[in-house]
Amino acid sequence: EAAVTQSPRNKVTVTGGNVTLSCRQTNSHNYMYWYRQDTGHGLRLIHYSYGAGNLQIGDVPDGYKATRTTQEDFFLLLELASPSQTSLYFCASSDVWGHLNERLFFGHGTKLSVL
């Protein structure tokens, strides 16, 4: 079973603060993703990447940067955090899509509170 580890599990910051969320996957997957989960909105894609140095824009990218430093590591950066970014953030990984491989493996989430 694919392993995706997120850190920290909980984070509290103030408005205007600088936050980095980390994600590591150990299953040699090409794709990694950042989602945010909010009541009434479900899971929404922020950014994703298909390999080291690559970044693709998701559906709700405003206010977020991301960087994929290695095949294993994907970071989400909030440089000027705002209360609207208070959310539960999930990292996920997947192999290259094909009918047998179409599935996402999620981490346990990072709960971020921006005061």
Partner 1 sequence: GDSVTQTEGPVTLSEGTSLTVNCSYETKQYPTLFWYVQYPGEGPQLLFKVPKANEKGSNRGFEATYNKEATSFHLQKASVQESDSAVYYCALSPSSNTNKVVFGTGTRLQVLP
Binding-site size, partner 1 (CB under 8 A): 26
Phi, psi of 16 (to 5 degrees): 90, -5
Q: Does 8 participate in binding partner 1 (rule CB under 8 A)?
A: no
Task: Please choose, out of 16-24, 63-71, 72-80, 92-100, the segment that lies near partner 1 by the rule CB under 8 A.
Answer: 92-100
The answer for residues whose C-beta is within 8 angstroms of residue 69's C-beta and 6 or more apart is 52, 75
Phi, psi of 25 (to 5 degrees): -120, 145
Q: Does 107 participate in binding partner 1 (rule CB under 8 A)?
A: yes
How many Å from the N-terminal Cα to the C-terminal Cα in the chain? Answer: 36
Q: Does 97 participate in binding partner 1 (rule CB under 8 A)?
A: yes
- Among 69, 70, 80, 102, which residue sits at the site for partner 1 (rule: CB under 8 A)? 102
| 3-class DSSP state of 21 | strand
Q: Residues in the site for partner 1, rule: CB under 8 A?
A: 4, 31, 35, 40-45, 48, 50, 59, 90, 92, 94, 96-99, 102-104, 106-109
